[in-house]
Amino acid sequence: MAPTTTPTLELPRTPREPGRPAGGGPRGGGPGDGSAVPSSVSPARIGAWLLVAAITVLFAAFTSTYLVRRNAGDWPAVFLPPVLWLTTAVLLISSLTMEAARRAAGRGTRASLRRWLGITTVLGLVFLGGQLVAWRQLAASGVFMATNPHSAFFYLLTGAHGLHLAGGIGALIFALTKAPAAPTHAAALDVADPVATYWHFLDGLWLYLFLILYGI
């Protein structure tokens, strides 16, 4: 699998980069006849940004509903479990370790890349575990989804964020298997960079949700 999959990380560039397709023929129209596309961005990076855009809209819909629904008059704010401060801190740190991994990929230091990706994965799992603890504590104190609108939104927003973060952990595990084994720095970065984009986004998204759930 490895020898065939590694080149595929580079292959999408061939249509854009004259001279590199399998045929390797001479460029059709001279030196100026390059592709119309800036070549430094891989499809996966664009894909990550588009995914971020779609998820932003999803949560914009959730939270705008929250802000409207909040004014309905039946809004007893739920006391949120303090463990959330801890999970927030863990997620913030995981963003730093993810950034370290991305930079390690850019430098081409594979051992360091593997280590930082691993630490980020573990921190992500700790975050999810902490969110589950928060759910259990709320449930133990008799607050469920149907208890009141604030608790409904709490479970909804943390749950939706948690699902996306679980997807992010899947992406991290994928990056752990692919990025350190990539043949070039650029290829490793093409794997690590979209994952980092997505992970930082989930971090920022959580801060936004946390602020809304606590403050507004």
Partner 1 sequence: MAVAHETTHEDHKLSWIRRYVFSQDHKIIGIQYLMTSLFMALIGGTLAMLIRMQQGWPGTQWGVAKFLFPGGFTGDGVLKPDFYLAVVTMHGTIMIFFVLTTALSGGFGNFLIPLTIGARDMAFPFLNMLSYWLYPPALVVLLASFFVAGGAPNAGWTSYPPLSAVPAAAPGSGLGQSLWLISIAILIVAFLFGSLNYITTVLQLRTRGLLMTRLPLITWAQFITAILMLLAFPVLLAAAVMLLFDRHAGTSFFVPTGLVVGGRLLTHQGGNPLLWQHLFWFLGHPEVYVLILPPMGIVSEILAVHGRKPIFGYGAMVLSLCAIAFLSFLVWGHHMFVSGMNPLVGSAFMVTTLAIAIPSAVKTFNWVATLWRARIRFTSAMLFAIGFVSLFLTGGLTGIFLGSPAVDTYLHDTFFVVAHFHFVMASAALFGLFGGLYHWFPKMFGRMMNERLGRIHFWLTFVGIYATFFPMHFIGIAGEPRRYYSPQMYEFLRGLHPLNVFVSLAAFGLGLAQIIFVYNFLHSLFRGQKAESNPWHANTLEWQAPSPPPHGNWGAELPTVHRWPYDYSVPGAPDDFVPQTTPVTAVPVAGGAGDDPAGDSPEHA
The three-state secondary structure class of 26 is coil
Please pick, from the candidates 2, 3, 6, 35, the single residue that binds partner 1 as defined by CB under 8 A.
35
Is 214 near partner 1 (CB under 8 A)?
A: no
Give me the least distance between CB of 206 and partner 1, in Å please: 17
Cβ of residue 155: shortest distance to partner 1, in angstroms?
8
**Count of Cβ atoms closer than 10 Å to residue 32 Cβ:** 6
Cα–Cα nearest to 6, from 199, 185, 181, 189: 181
Rounded CA gap, 170 and 193, in Å? 15
SS3 143: coil
- The burial class, CB within 10 Å (0-12 / 13-18 / 19+), for 122 is middle
By C-beta, is 63 or 112 nearer to partner 1?
63
Q: According to the binding rule CB under 8 A, does residue 57 interact with partner 1?
A: yes
Residues 176, 8, 191, 208, Cα dihedral to 10°? -120
With CB under 8 A, what is the number of residues at the site for partner 1? Answer: 55
160 binding partner 1? (CB under 8 A): yes
Q: Which is nearer to partner 1, 44 or 93 (CB)?
A: 44
Per rule CB under 8 A, is residue 2 in the interface with partner 1?
Answer: no
Residues that bind partner 1 (CB under 8 A): 5, 8-9, 11-12, 14-16, 18, 21-23, 25, 27-37, 41-44, 46-47, 50-51, 53-55, 57-62, 65, 68-69, 72-74, 145-146, 149, 152, 156, 160, 174, 194
